[in-house]
């Protein structure tokens, strides 16, 4: 008799007690990536490193984490365009908290330059990865108990505008969404939960019937799509495909042509940026309410 394929994954925390600490990227690795960019742009970046404004430093990829720096600044600008004074930014999958604390620091800097305030929210089980459900969760890469968190230590470091929501995404996401104030709509979410099954529950954040809980074009960063075994048939990308198939007026698409807008074009994070198109947002239904557009007249001489 064929075995239930999911039985393989019904393990508790990893049976292996060895711990593998993921090494940080070395300076040599970072400079190696920059070395592939044109020399004159690297020299210009040195100038902006010393004399640049915060926004220009983000433009030159000098503020880290670069993906969060770009998205946080963009979310604030988009919120301001919509007349909002506050915007919500989210990290799904917090682990030790490096990403969330980075997001909080960026929110502080971006608030200073844009005047837009932030609500920062981090979602996590608090005890590391749950068990994978099946092959779509990539048990080849991730397992139960990976990425534990020291909740107490992390909470002590979080600023007043940041919240850590602990529990299974299946429950914490709908609870959070129910109380989300449209005056601080979602402008950016980073998805770093590794599993397909977790990503499905995280993306429910974009399914509230009230479109005003979102900016018209929130940014979505997908972390776990870069390894050779990641594909549209598993992991976070599969969750995105299913989200698009089941939501008529909400569609997630790659941030097309972002590369052409960036100064440094080789950075990997550019390919990890997506946008949620909120087609039922009020701004998508206001044709005729803006001044007519026209090109400046061309001087045609005969």
Ligand X SMILES: C[S@@+](CC[C@H](N)C(=O)[O-])C[C@H]1O[C@@H](n2cnc3c(N)ncnc32)[C@H](O)[C@@H]1O
CA distance 49 to 282: 40
Task: Determine, following the binding rule CB under 6 A, whether residue 128 of this chain makes contact with ligand X.
Answer: yes
Task: Determine, following the binding rule CB under 6 A, whether residue 38 of this chain makes contact with ligand X.
Answer: no
Task: Determine, following the binding rule CB under 6 A, whether residue 150 of this chain makes contact with ligand X.
Answer: no
Q: Given the structure tokens 């108990």, which residue do they identify?
A: 145
| Residue nearest to ligand X according to CB distances in the complex | 99
Q: Do residues 214 and 276 touch, judged by C-beta distance below 8 A?
A: yes
Which member of 63, 90, 99, 275 binds ligand X (CB under 6 A)? 99
CB of 82 to ligand X, least distance (A): 27
Task: Determine, following the binding rule CB under 6 A, whether residue 221 of this chain makes contact with ligand X.
Answer: no
CB of 96 to ligand X, least distance (A): 6
Q: Do residues 63 and 115 touch, judged by C-beta distance below 8 A?
A: no
Binding segment for ligand X (CB under 6 A), chosen from 3-11, 48-56, 92-100, 209-217, is 92-100
Q: Do residues 266 and 33 touch, judged by C-beta distance below 8 A?
A: yes
Task: Determine, following the binding rule CB under 6 A, whether residue 95 of this chain makes contact with ligand X.
Answer: yes
Q: Between 132 and 216, whose beta carbon lies closer to ligand X?
A: 132
Peptide bond into 65 cis (omega under 30): yes
Task: Determine, following the binding rule CB under 6 A, whether residue 124 of this chain makes contact with ligand X.
Answer: yes
Q: Given the structure tokens 């440094």, which residue do they identify?
A: 264
Which member of 168, 183, 241, 253 binds ligand X (CB under 6 A)? 168
Question: Which two tokens mark 51?
Answer: 């004399």
CA distance 244 to 239: 9
Task: Determine, following the binding rule CB under 6 A, whether residue 198 of this chain makes contact with ligand X.
Answer: yes
CA distance 145 to 127: 7
Q: Which residues bind ligand X (CB under 6 A)?
A: 91, 93-96, 98-99, 123-125, 128-130, 147, 168-169, 192-195, 198, 201
């Amino acid at each position: 008799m064929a075995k239930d394929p999911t039985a393989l994954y019904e393990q508790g925390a990893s049976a292996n007690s060895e711990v593998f600490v993921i090494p940080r990227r070395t300076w040599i690795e970072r400079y190696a990536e920059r070395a592939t960019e044109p020399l004159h742009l690297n020299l210009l970046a040195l100038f902006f490193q010393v004399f640049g404004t915060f926004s220009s430093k983000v433009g030159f990829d000098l503020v880290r984490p670069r993906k969060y720096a770009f998205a946080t600044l963009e979310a604030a600008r988009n919120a301001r365009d919509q007349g909002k004074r506050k915007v919500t930014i989210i990290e799904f999958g917090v682990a030790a908290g490096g990403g969330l604390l980075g997001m909080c620091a960026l929110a502080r800097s971006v608030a200073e330059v844009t005047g837009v305030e932030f609500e920062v929210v981090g979602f996590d089980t608090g005890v590391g990865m749950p068990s994978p459900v099946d092959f779509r969760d990539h048990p080849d890469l991730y397992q139960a108990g990976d990425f534990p968190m020291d909740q107490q230590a992390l909470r002590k470091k979080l600023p007043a505008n940041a919240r850590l929501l602990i529990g299974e995404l299946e429950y914490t996401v709908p609870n959070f969404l129910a109380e989300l104030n449209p005056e601080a709509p979602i402008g950016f979410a980073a998805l770093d939960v590794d599993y397909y099954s977790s990503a499905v529950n995280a993306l429910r954040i974009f399914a509230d019937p009230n479109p005003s809980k979102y900016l018209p074009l929130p940014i979505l960063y997908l972390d776990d799509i870069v390894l050779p075994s990641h594909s549209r048939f598993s992991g976070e990308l599969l969750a995105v495909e299913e989200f698009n198939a089941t939501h008529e007026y909400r569609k997630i698409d790659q941030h097309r042509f972002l590369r052409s807008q960036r100064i440094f074009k080789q950075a990997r994070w550019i390919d990890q940026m997506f946008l949620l198109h909120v087609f039922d947002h009020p701004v998508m239904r206001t044709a005729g309410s803006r001044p007519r557009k026209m090109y400046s007249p061309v001087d045609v001489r005969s």
